[in-house]
Amino acid sequence: MNRRRFLRNFIAGGAASALAPRLLRAEVAVATGSGQFARGLATQPWLAGWKSIDSESIGPITATIEGRLPKGFSGTLFRNGPAWFERAGFRYQHWFDGDGMLHAWHFGERTVEHRARMVATSKFTREQKAGRFLLPAAGTTIPAAVLIRNNDDVNTANTAVIRFNGRLFALWEGGSAYELEPETLRTLGPVSWREDLVAAPFSAHPLVERDGSLWNFGSLDLLSGSGLLLWHLGADGKILRTATLATTAPGYLHSFAMTERHLVFMLMPYQLAQGEGAAFFERLRFMPGQPCRIAVVPKDALDAPQWFEVEFGAVYHYADAYERRGEIVVNAVRHDDLADMRSPMAAAMRGERGSAATKMELVSLHLDLTRGRARWQASGVRGLEFPTFDRRHDTAAPSRLFAPARVEPAAAPYFNAIAAIDPARERRSVHVYGADILAEEHVFVPKPGSRRVGEGWLVGSLLDARRGRSGVAVLDAEHVGDGPLAQAWLPYAMPLGFHGTFAA
Amino acid sequence: MNTASMRLLPLALLFCTIARSADLDVTITDIRVAKGTLMIAVVDSAAGWDDQAKAAAGGTRKASAAQESFHFANLPPGAYAVKVLHDENDNGKLDTNFMGMPIEGYGFSNNPQLLRKPTFDEAKFDLDAAGGAITIDLR
C-alpha cells in the first residue's frame, strides 16, 4: 500500500476548497442550505425523516403504547442512522453524510422506553466545538475542510449497530467500529482489534456465525488502495484471522453474504470521475457496461477465492444465502436506478420530493461452483429494501424474507409497509401502515425458547409524518398481514435511520 | 583574493550580522491530546527535509495544550521548511497502521493539502531578515 494514495478520495475535498472556498460557500448556501430544506418541510411533513437533529441526546422517555406487547417480548432494539445534517446553515447533500445517532428502544413487560444519543466520533466532537462542518464528507464537498490524519477522522459511525462479545458497536464502512455503552449510549471510542489495524476499515455489515464468531470485510478501495481486508473475530472479540483479498480493478461493495462454507463478495465496477475537489459519492460512476466480479471465498481457505463474473447489478444489501447441489444462491435487492444508488433520496435531502423508491427488485444471484458460472434471477417483487430474515434459517433452502415495501397511496416517496416474502412458495403478505407512515427495517426476533425457524416477531421503526411522531411496531412474523400486535409512539419525530439489531 | 572582493568583504560581514538575527516563530494548532511529545524540525534544504542532512534548528516539548509555540532565534535568512510530529505515545516515531496511514498527529509548513509527505519545495517558505511567524495545523 502506497501511503501517498491513501484516502485521496476523502482528502480531495479539502484541496478544492483551498482554491475557491468563498465561491464554493456561496454556491452551496444558495443551492443546498438549510433554508431550502425548511421550506420543503413546511409543506411536506414526511421530510421530517431527513431533518437534522440539533441536540446530542434525546430522552429517555416513555413511549405511548397502542395494542398489547406480546408476552415474552423483551429486550432492546438498537438502531443507527445519519441524523446530524446541518451546521451553520450548510446542509449535507448526501444522506450518508449525516453523523450517526444511536437509538435504543427498550421493551419491558408493559413499557417501551426510548433514548438516543449522537455517536461522539472524533469528527462529531470536533465539529460540535467548531460550530461548522470541518471534515470532508463521503458525498458532499465541504468548503474549507481541514486536513485529515486518516480515514477515522471522517468516520461518522452512522450506518449500523451490532451487539458482539457482549459489547455495542456503531458501524460505518470506511473506518473503525465505535464502541458505546449499551445502557447509556455513551461513546467509549473507536475500537482497534489489533495494534497494526488501528483505523482499518470494518464494514457496517458483519455476519455472525452460529459459533458466535464474526466475519467482516473492509474495502481498501475506499482508501485508494485496492482489495478487501477480511476479518474473522472470535466470540471473545479477539482476531482469529485476517487476510487480504486482492482485486484487479476498483469494485464497490457495501455488504456481503455467507453460506455455511463460503463468504460471497460482489464487486461493482466503478470509476472516479475527474474533479479532485469532489467527494467520493459525487465522483463515483458505476460502470454498468462491465460485469460485476464475485469472489466466493472458502471460510477455511481465505487465500483461495473462486472468481465469477455476472452481468452488472447494483446491490447495497444481501439477504440470506444458501448452498445446495453445487450451487450458491444469494438473495439481494438490486437497484436499477444508478443515480439513486449513488445518492439515495437525494431530492429529500434538498427538501424536494423526488421519484418514489421503487426501482429496486428482489433478485437472486446463482453461482454454479462446478461450472464457474453466475447468473441473476429476477423475482418480480419490486419496491423494497433492507431485507432481514431469521438467522436460524435452513442453510440449504431459501429463507422467508422481511422488508419495508412501498404500496400506493403513499405521501412520501418511501416505504410505507412491511412485506413478508416466501420465495420457496412464491407467497407474499403485506401490512400497509398507512399513506402517511414511513417504514424502516424490521428485525426478526426469535420467540424465547422456540427452536422452529420463522417463529418469532418483527420489530421495526416508523415515522408518522401526519402526526409528527416516531415509533416502533411489533408484529408476529408468521402473521405479518395481520398488522402490528403493538405500536409505541414518541411525542416527536426523528430522522430515519438505516439498520438495527435486537438484543434480548 | 583580488581587490574587488576585499572591498566587498565588510559589506558581506554586515549582511551576516543581520542574517543571524532572523527569528522564526512557529505556532502549532489542533494538538488533539495533551500527552506525549511534540517534535519539530526546521530544515533549510531538500537533504535536511529527507533526514539526509542536519536540521537548521529543532526542538521538542511535552504536549500540554491544544496549541503550542516554538521560537527559533538567529537563523540566517533563506528558504526553510518545518515538520512537526506529535509522538503521542513517546516511542520516538510517527506510528502508522498496516496501510501506512499515520495514526498520530503531524503537520508541515504551508499546511499543504496533500495526503502524503510534501516535498521540501511544497513546504518551504522564505524567512527574510525581519524574521517571520508561521502556523502549522496538526492533522
Does the distance separating the beta carbons of B113 and A225 come in below 8 Å?
Answer: no
Rounded Cα distance, B52 and A243, in Å: 36
Does the distance separating the beta carbons of B137 and A220 come in below 8 Å?
Answer: no
* Residue B17 at interface with chain A, using a CB cutoff of 8 Å: no
- Name which of A100, A163, A112 is nearest A502 in CA terms: A163
Does the distance separating the beta carbons of B116 and A3 come in below 8 Å?
Answer: yes
| Chain B residue numbers touching A4 (CB-CB < 8 A) | 115-116
| Bridge partners, A87 (sequence order) | A90
Q: Looking at the predicted structure, is the pLDDT value of residue A142 above 50?
A: yes
* Residue B97 at interface with chain A, using a CB cutoff of 8 Å: yes
Q: Residue holding cell 483551498?
A: A18
A interface test, pick of B88, B98, B137 with most A CB neighbours within 10 Å: B98
Please tell me the distance in Å from A87's CA to the nearest CA on chain B. Answer: 20
Residues 152-211 of A with CB under 8 A from B: 153, 196-200
Give just the sign of the alpha carbon dihedral A443, A444, A447, A449.
negative
* Residue B119 at interface with chain A, using a CB cutoff of 8 Å: no
What are the two backbone dihedrals, phi and then psi, of residue B134, each rounded to the nearest 5 degrees?
-130, 160
* Residue B122 at interface with chain A, using a CB cutoff of 8 Å: no
Amino acid symbol at A360: M
Rounded Cα distance, A85 and A224, in Å: 26
* C-alpha distance from residue A474 to each of A369, A404, A428, A433, A465 (Å): 40, 14, 19, 12, 19
pLDDT in tens, A390-422: 999 888 999 999 999 999 999 999 999 999 999
Q: For A301-320, what is the mean pLDDT?
A: 98
| Bridge partners, A86 (sequence order) | A91
* Residue B115 at interface with chain A, using a CB cutoff of 8 Å: yes
What pLDDT does residue B14 have? Answer: 47
Rounded Cα distance, A89 and A77, in Å: 33
Q: For A486-500, what is the mean pLDDT?
A: 98
Q: For A461-479, what is the mean pLDDT?
A: 98
Please give the grid coordinates belonging to residue A464: 408518522
Q: For A442-462, what is the mean pLDDT?
A: 97
Asked if the peptide bond before residue A269 counts as cis, ω within 30 degrees of 0, the response is no
pLDDT in tens, A351-396: 999 988 789 999 999 999 999 999 999 999 999 999 999 999 888 9
Q: Return the C-alpha torsion angle B11, B13, B19, B20, nearest 10.
A: -160
| Chain B residue numbers touching A18 (CB-CB < 8 A) | 113
More confident residue, A6 or A370: A370
Rounded Cα distance, A500 and A168, in Å: 11
Q: Looking at the predicted structure, is the pLDDT value of residue B23 above 60?
A: yes
| Chain A residue numbers touching B114 (CB-CB < 8 A) | 11
Beta carbon pairs, A and B, within 8 Å: 68
A interface test, pick of B29, B97, B139 with most A CB neighbours within 10 Å: B97
Please give the grid coordinates belonging to residue A260: 455455511
Q: Looking at the predicted structure, is the pLDDT value of residue A474 above 50?
A: yes
| Chain B residue numbers touching A121 (CB-CB < 8 A) | none
Q: For B49-53, what is the mean pLDDT?
A: 94
pLDDT in tens, A176-229: 999 999 999 999 999 999 999 999 999 999 999 999 999 999 999 888 789 999
Band of residue B116 on the pLDDT scale cut at 50, 70, 90: confident
Does the distance separating the beta carbons of B30 and A3 come in below 8 Å?
Answer: no
Mean pLDDT value across chain B: 88
* Residue A375 at interface with chain B, using a CB cutoff of 8 Å: no
Of A15, A148, A200, the CB nearest to B98: A200
Task: Kindly identify which residue of chain A lies nearest to residue B111, measuring between CA atoms.
Answer: A147
What pLDDT does residue B10 have? Answer: 47
Instruction: Find the range with the poorest average confidence among A46-60, B15-29, B77-91.
Output: B15-29
Do the Cβ atoms of A94 and A154 come closer than 8 Å? no
| Chain B residue numbers touching A9 (CB-CB < 8 A) | none
What pLDDT does residue A224 have? Answer: 75
Rounded Cα distance, A137 and B5, in Å: 61
Please tell me the distance in Å from A120's CA to the nearest CA on chain B. Answer: 15
What pLDDT does residue A32 have? Answer: 55
Q: Is A104 exposed, middle or buried (0-12, 13-18, 19+ CB in 10 A)?
A: buried
* Residue B132 at interface with chain A, using a CB cutoff of 8 Å: no
Q: For A35-64, what is the mean pLDDT?
A: 97
Residues 1-40 of A with CB under 8 A from B: 1-8, 11, 14-15, 18
Q: Looking at the predicted structure, is the pLDDT value of residue B35 above 60?
A: yes
- Name which of A100, A80, A85 is nearest A50 in CA terms: A85
Sequence-distant contacts of A299-303: CB under 8 A, at least 24 apart: A299/A215, A299/A232, A299/A258, A299/A261, A299/A262, A299/A263, A300/A261, A302/A230, A302/A232, A302/A241, A302/A243, A302/A245, A303/A243
What are the two backbone dihedrals, phi and then psi, of residue A307, each rounded to the nearest 5 degrees?
-100, 140
What pLDDT does residue A14 have? Answer: 32
What pLDDT does residue A29 have? Answer: 42
Q: For A7-33, what is the mean pLDDT?
A: 37
- Name which of A343, A281, A347, A359 is nearest A47 in CA terms: A347
Q: Looking at the predicted structure, is the pLDDT value of residue A46 above 50?
A: yes
Do the Cβ atoms of A360 and A336 come closer than 8 Å? yes
Q: Looking at the predicted structure, is the pLDDT value of residue A4 above 50?
A: no
- Name which of A142, A111, A136 is nearest A123 in CA terms: A136
> Would you call B65 helix, strand, or coil by DSSP?
coil
pLDDT in tens, A53-73: 999 999 999 999 999 999 999
- Complex ipTM value: 0.80
Mean pLDDT value across chain A: 92
Rounded Cα distance, A359 and A313, in Å: 12
What pLDDT does residue A109 have? Answer: 85
* Residue B105 at interface with chain A, using a CB cutoff of 8 Å: yes
What pLDDT does residue B20 have? Answer: 61
- Quote the Cα angle for A403-A261-A324, to 5°: 70
* Residue A312 at interface with chain B, using a CB cutoff of 8 Å: no
What pLDDT does residue A480 have? Answer: 98
| Chain B residue numbers touching A1 (CB-CB < 8 A) | 98-100
What pLDDT does residue A424 have? Answer: 75
